[in-house]
Amino acid sequence: MMKRLLQIIFAVIVVTQTATVATAEEKKAPLKYVDALDFRMINKGFDDTETPYTRLPKYLQDSVRADLWNRQQCSSGLGIRFSTNSTRVGVRYTLLWDTHMFHMADTGLKGTDLYILTDDGRWEYVNTNRPIANDKKECEKVFVENLDGKAHEFLIYLPLYDGVTKMDIAVDSLAKIEKPKVDSPRKSKKIVMYGTSILQGGCSTRTGMVATNMIQRDLNCEVVNLGFSGEGKMDQCIARAMARIKDADVYVLDPVPNCTEMMCDTLTYDFVKTLRELRPNVPIVMVEGPMYTYAKYDSFFKSYLPKKNAAYRKNYEKLVADGYKNIYYVTSEGLTGDDNEGTVDGIHFTDIGFRRYADKLIPVLKPLLEK
């Protein structure tokens, strides 16, 4: 009870901690709520998912482990694009679980971010909701008020470590809200990234700061997030499913953190081979697992992590030697920078880590995307 009380006190403190100011317009007109699915969903890999907000095709449910199925229910990477001239832009959505983790802010885990397209074509962050759900697991937030009333292009990113069952966009009742008028991210360019909890978004502070979403904004393309916490284990059925994404321009594989040395040794070759043979012309980028920061001081992991990467690399080299083309390799060097400061727990990236990871991958991906 005391704990709950303190939580409420803190929430109130933080909400009101900036100087309280009465805005000119005290009485607001009611908002109108429009189904997010009326607009454009971005960064989605498959159209045959169980719900619009889940990530893997429905047919896979019986083929994969329950944990993997659970993780694909997280809406990581998905975003809604729309255009409106509203002076207010908000969101209301229902969470699948309303879960919590100890090393990731709820804003990243189950919040949503609003971005706006600037006049010079950059996506710029506006605001985030604090995901305080009611007893129906509903979160609601007006991201911004007092906008200029001109038509702007917007993007809302969905939760990274929770799912969404329903989402509405909130705007002024008399405002226009429409499908986006600008093709950004470009519909014609798509990167598909497969990996672990790190790739899924653990532990960015908010949804716009996961690497896949940064890359999506920076390269003006769609980036499908197929990161599955604890479950990036190079299952053959996932390779086959990824090959079904017909408009994929580049595949990125980043599974090492979830695989043992033995798995890196025995699964890598066949996973890449399956994908390569089904999609002969699409570049594949293999990314090594990062050296966990704590491993630098732990003699066991200091030798074990390079062994996993070595097993992964050996298979890359074997694939190349066997004549498989168009496969690229990114080493772990500097993947989260060189100061050991890019993680929250020695493993999972913070916004700093994700920024550095994106900055390492972008120069590799950009030329492949424009081929």
Where in 60-99 is the site for a second copy (CB under 8 A)?
67, 97-99
The pair of three-digit structure tokens given for residue 114, joined into one six-digit string: 């609003």
Between CA 92 and CA 98, with CA 96 as vertex, the angle to 5 degrees is 80
Nearest to 284 by CA among 246, 320, 327, 317: 327
Straight-line distance from the first to the last Cα atom of the chain, in angstroms, rounded to the nearest whole number:
60
- CA 291 to CA 124: how far, in whole Å? 31
Q: Which of residues 215-234 bind a second copy (CB under 8 A)?
A: 229-230
| 135 counts as binding a second copy under rule CB under 8 A | no
The least CB distance from residue 168 to a second copy, in Å, is 20
**Residue reference for tokens 């074997």:** 318
Residue in 143, 157, 194, 269 binding a second copy, rule: CB under 8 A: 143
Give the one residue of 31, 104, 160, 211 binding a second copy; rule: CB under 8 A: 104
| 89-95, strands of its sheet edge to edge | 31-35, 164-172, 89-95, 138-144
Query: How far is residue 255's CA from residue 252's CA, in Å, rounded to a whole number?
Result: 10
Among 34, 151, 263, 310, binds a second copy (CB under 8 A): 263
Minimum CB distance to a second copy smaller for 138 or for 328? 138
Q: What are phi and psi of 356, to 5 degrees?
A: -70, -40
Q: In the window 5-64, what residues touch a second copy (CB under 8 A)?
A: 6-7, 10-11, 13-14, 16-21, 23-24
The owner of tokens 């772990």 is 332
Question: Smallest gap, in angstroms, from Cβ of residue 266 to a second copy?
Answer: 13
Residue choice 102, 136, 323, 363 for contact with a second copy (CB under 8 A): 102
Taking the complex as a whole, the smallest distance from the CB of residue 104 to a second copy amounts, in Å, to 5
Contact string (CB under 8 A) for a second copy, positions 185-214, x = contact? -----------xx----xx-xx-xx-----
Q: Of 13 and 321, which CB lies nearer to a second copy in the complex structure? A: 13
Answer whether 173's CB lies under 8 Å from 88's CB.
no
**75, 128, 268, 315: residue in contact with a second copy (rule CB under 8 A):** 128
Classified as helix, coil or strand, 77 is: coil
Pick the piece of the chain touching a second copy (CB under 8 A) from 78-86, 178-186, 237-245, 260-268.
260-268
Size of the residue set binding a second copy (CB under 8 A)? 83
CA angle 250, 112, 257 (to 5 degrees): 45
